Amino acid sequence: MNIHIGMRKVKSLISLVISFIIWQLIRVLFPVLEVHPVFAYIYSVIEIRETPEKTKKFGKLRIKATFVGLVVGLVFITLSFFVASKISSDMWRVLAELSLILLATLVSLIFAEIIKCENFCGIAAIITIICMVSHNEQDIYLYAIMRVVQTLIGIFSATFINIFIKKREKQ
């Protein structure tokens, strides 16, 4: 088996390191945050493209979709707290939460389409779902915002590395 370690793999690894460093600087201000920024790692690898231009284009679309997901997610988190406070039965509360997750997902997909997120409408839905279901009860809003911050860090790292390495290759 012939394994090739090309520039895309190298750029992905460097982007991961940059994401880690940026996150650790944020953790200086907020030491309760987790050590490894999983979403930053994911997007720092996903956003490495063949050219800096593609990285910038797709990064901008992903950022738009991410903000749609965050805004819709935060609105529906608040709505879900309100609804949960009005329902006493656990079974009905779970069904109400599922209904809100479905509605929030649909709303995020529609808004992402309206603002022309192109092939990244699904990202808006994913961020919305993550905001609503993947959290600890104490810091739900901070958790949602930190997921978006991690996504932005990953996109920034990938874009920076792609542009920086392309410029170095030209010299």
Residue 42 lies in a domain: yes
H or E stretch covering 104: helix 90-114
Tell me the longest C-alpha to C-alpha distance in the chain: 67
Residue 2 lies in a domain: no
More confident of the two residues 135 and 66: 66
What angle is formed at CA 112 by the lines to CA 116 and CA 124, rounded to 5 degrees?
A: 130
Single-letter amino acid code for the residue at 132: M
Q: Is pTM, for the whole model, over 0.85?
A: no
Per-residue pLDDT tens digits for 35-93 = 999 989 998 998 888 787 888 888 889 889 999 999 999 999 889 888 888 888 888 88
Residue 65 lies in a domain: yes
Least confident of 23-32, 53-62, 102-111, 161-170: 161-170
**Cα distances (angstroms) measured from residue 120 to each of 12, 29, 68, 83, 117:** 20, 31, 11, 30, 5
Give the residue numbers spanning the domain of 163. 8-170
Q: Using CA atoms, how far apart are residues 5 and 25, in angstroms rounded to an integer?
A: 30
pLDDT at 138 over 70: no
CB neighbour list of residue 144: distance below 8 Å, 6 or more residues apart: 70, 73, 74, 77, 130, 131, 135
Residue 21 lies in a domain: yes
What is the per-residue pLDDT for 136?
58
Domain count, the chain: 1
Residue 84 lies in a domain: yes
Q: State the burial class of residue 79 (Cβ atoms within 10 Å of its Cβ: 0-12, 13-18, 19+).
A: middle
What is the per-residue pLDDT for 153?
94
